[in-house]
């Protein structure tokens, strides 16, 4: 009688066959070896490979985020009764430090791929149509609040300064050395605001007076406060304060 090794590759519907002990061990060894692709995940256990691999993973997620972003799809807006009271709108610890903005002298410095670079006053931004919206602010930590934000659409401001429509990014610099960047699709989104009001009052210092970003389609750390510089650019030279420490860049909600 010839021992037959079952073809375990095919499927579970194997006909009765007879094999000897030695052959059985051989089959088992071969089957075990077929699991070796799982060992590839062990690369994450090697310290020198871990960081680049996780960076790739985060980059892949960001790529997927950018693809999932729909320009015409709006973030939910809420009734006034759903608003989190302003005094319960959380602040980061370092927002208690005064970044030293002198409101009377404040201007927004515009540079990069724009037709009209230079200094823009708050009055020029406030002269643009005002949008007020009750939207959800989601922190990367996991909490969320509903806030009321008012300001000019960033897209209107980009028109005002003659931003190059083929540019891919907007970067902002802040009085407290914070910095952030946005993809152009998000910058042009109708709910993305140059925000100078919260709860219908001018921004208080803790919330980024006189100007902050309000981007309801993005995570909290994208909503830069104390904005002083805005640059339209083809190449992203400054990514973002938290991004440079390892957080996601796109982080669209």
Binding interface with other proteins (CB under 8 A): 1, 3, 6, 8-9, 11-21, 24, 27-29, 31-32, 34-35, 37-38, 41, 44, 53-58, 60-61, 65, 68-70, 73, 75-76, 84, 87-90, 136, 138-145, 216-217, 242, 245-248, 252-253
Minimum CB separation of residue 194 from other proteins in Å reads 20
**Pairwise CA distance, residues 121 & 210, whole Å:** 11
Considering beta carbons, is residue 208 or 216 the nearer one to other proteins? 216
Contact partners, residue 158, CB within 8 Å, separation at least 6:
170, 187, 188, 232
- Write the DSSP string, 67-93: HH--TTPPPP---GGGPPPGGGS---G
The one-character DSSP state at 5 is: -
- Min dist. Cβ of residue 102 to other proteins (A): 30
Distance CA 82, CA 74 (A): 18
Q: How far is the CB of 62 from other proteins (least distance, A)?
A: 9
Nearer to other proteins, 75 or 239 (CB): 75
Q: What does the radius of gyration of the chain's CA atoms come to, in whole angstroms?
A: 27
What separation in angstroms does the CA of 192 have from each of 71, 84, 233?
A: 11, 20, 18
Looking at the Cβ atoms of 217 and 233, the one nearer to other proteins is: 217
179 neighbors 173 (Cβ within 8 angstroms): yes
Pairwise CA distance, residues 215 & 191, whole Å: 7
Given a contact cutoff of 8 angstroms between Cβ atoms, the answer to whether 137 and 146 are in contact is: yes
Tokens of 201: 């009052």
For other proteins, give the closer residue by CB, 81 or 105.
Answer: 81
- Nearest to other proteins of 51, 119 (CB atom): 51
Least CB distance from residue 236 to other proteins, whole Å? Answer: 19
Taking the least distance from each CB to other proteins, the nearer of 55 and 116 is: 55
Least distance in Å: CB of 40 to other proteins? 10
Q: Output the smallest distance, CB 72 to other proteins, in A.
A: 12
SS3 assignment, position 24: helix
**What is the 8-class DSSP label of residue 42?**
G
């Amino acid at each position: 009688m010839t021992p037959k090794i079952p073809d375990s590759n095919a499927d579970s519907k194997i006909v009765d066959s007879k094999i000897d002990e030695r052959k059985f061990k051989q089959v088992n060894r071969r089957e075990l070896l077929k699991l070796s692709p799982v060992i590839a995940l062990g690369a994450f256990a090697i310290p020198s490979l871990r960081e680049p691999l996780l960076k790739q993973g985060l980059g892949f997620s960001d790529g997927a985020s950018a693809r999932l972003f729909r320009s015409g799809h709006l973030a939910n807006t809420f009734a006034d009764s759903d608003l989190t009271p302003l005094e319960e709108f959380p602040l980061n610890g370092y927002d208690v430090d005064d970044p030293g903005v002198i409101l009377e002298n404040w201007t927004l410095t515009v540079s990069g791929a724009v037709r009209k670079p230079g200094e823009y006053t708050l009055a020029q931004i406030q002269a643009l149509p005002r949008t007020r919206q009750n939207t959800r602010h989601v922190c990367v930590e996991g909490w969320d609040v509903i806030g009321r934000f008012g300001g000019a659409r960033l897209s209107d401001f980009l028109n005002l300064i003659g931003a190059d429509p083929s540019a891919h990014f907007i970067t902002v610099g802040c009085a407290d050395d914070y910095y952030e960047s946005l993809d152009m699709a998000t910058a042009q989104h109708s709910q993305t605001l140059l925000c100078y009001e919260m709860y219908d009052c001018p921004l208080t210092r803790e919330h980024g007076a006189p100007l902050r970003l309000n981007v309801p389609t993005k995570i909290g750390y994208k909503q830069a406060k104390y904005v002083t510089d805005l640059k339209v650019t083809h190449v992203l030279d400054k990514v973002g304060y938290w991004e440079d420490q390892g957080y996601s860049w796109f982080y669209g909600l």
